[in-house]
A = this chain, B = another copy of it.
Amino acid sequence: MYGGPAAYGESMTKKDLGGKNCLYPMPVFLVGAEVEGVVDFTTVAHVGILNVGEVNYVSIGLGKGHHVNRGIKANREFSLCLPSEDMMVAVDHCGIASGAKVDKSKVFKVARGKLSFAPMAEECPICMECRLHDTLDYGSHDIFIGAIAASYAEEAVLSSGAVDLAKVHPLLFEMFTRSYWKLGERAGSAWSEGRRYR
């Protein structure tokens, strides 16, 4: 099977989708920033976790045309807020309406934490404040890498002090059918189920 290029592809029984991105489902977040003094929220599911460390870094990929990008670049701060299912209409609105044309500063109650330019949507059960660590240029997209400065969770979504996603009811997204999905039930314990492997 490892005989060289001639053998490659022979075992492929799946349908070729081209270079389509299949890295889904992804959690849906609201990105909060200030653009010329006005709070703006946009919706993003093209996010990423980079590391696990003393400082935790995350990425968001936003088309360069997004209004919010200007605020992130100018103030070098932004928030990432995790909405719950029941916020879907307002969240999707923030993904449709451009902050260049529509004032989205009143869509949510604005909460403030430790940073100056990372407005958070109070209605979201979980929020993070990020400092802009780096910006990568990927053609049509700005990739903003944020260092998480602070994180917050509503007491109501905690169980024994830890975030309980069953209480959060996050929204998930995929581009295959451009749909939002709900989270299902807990399936098992990581770094544990595998001990049963034979």
Contact = CB atoms under 8 A, between A and B. Distances in A.
A56 to B, nearest CB: 4
A93 B147 CA distance: 31
Interface in A125-178: 126-128, 136, 138-141, 143, 147-155, 158, 162-165, 170-178
A24 B28 CA distance: 9
Interface residues on A, range: 35 or more
Interface in A33-82: 34, 37, 39, 45-53, 55-59, 61, 63, 80, 82
Q: Chain copies in the assembly? A: 2
A132 to B, nearest CB: 15
A51 to B, nearest CB: 4
A15 B47 contact: no
Given A94-B194, A148-B20, A136 B50 contact: yes
Nearest to A105: B2
A39 to B, nearest CB: 8
Contacts of A197: 89-90, 92-93, 107
Contact of A26 (B19, B49, B173, B189): B49
Nearest to A26: B49
Most buried by B among A9, A21, A26: A21
Interface of A: 1-2, 4-5, 7-27, 29, 34, 37, 39, 45-53, 55-59, 61, 63, 80, 82, 85, 88-97, 107, 109-116, 122, 126-128, 136, 138-141, 143, 147-155, 158, 162-165, 170-197
